[in-house]
Amino acid sequence: VTEVTYYRWRQEFGGLKSDQVKRLKDLETENSRLRRAVSDLTLDKLILQEATRAGTHVVWVGIPIVKERQRWDFYRRVNDIYRDTANADPFGTFVDSWEPFEARDGGYTAFVRNERGGLVEVRAPDGVHFTSTGYGFLGKMAIRAADEAFGMPKKAVSFHV
């Protein structure tokens, strides 16, 4: 530790004991995390307000389950933010894309059953993206959600997964 660093620390932390310094650092880290969360919520709300200002309906599609389990907690928290933001606006609705692409045991799967009961691959090998069939399935979910939430007129749109 250089002399300059020592005096800077001494000035910053004064008579604090090491456990108090650690607690202070932990609180600063938590404060930073909470500030980012509030900022993200504010930005999401502003985006939705801008999109719905003229009466436009917004269908907000959540993040689907991915192969890498270490991302799940973060993606679920992001989906909670998206869900809360969309549901707070009368012109917004949220589509949960996690559960429809989840395996029966709650894990990741690249396959789902189509309307005829057949097993089809909907996820790309990277465990993040979709196959063209998967994107069609996701699009169909979004159209159904828009119809249910906003009473959209029946369109001649058909998907076969």
- Give the CA dihedral 82, 83, 89, 91, nearest 10 degrees: 90
pLDDT in tens, 134-158: 999 999 999 889 888 888 665 534 4
| Beta strands per DSSP E along 62-116 | 92-95, 111-113
Q: What is the pLDDT of residue 76?
A: 93
For the segment 15-65, what is each residue's pLDDT rounded down to a tens digit?
767 777 788 787 888 777 777 766 666 777 787 888 788 888 889 899 999
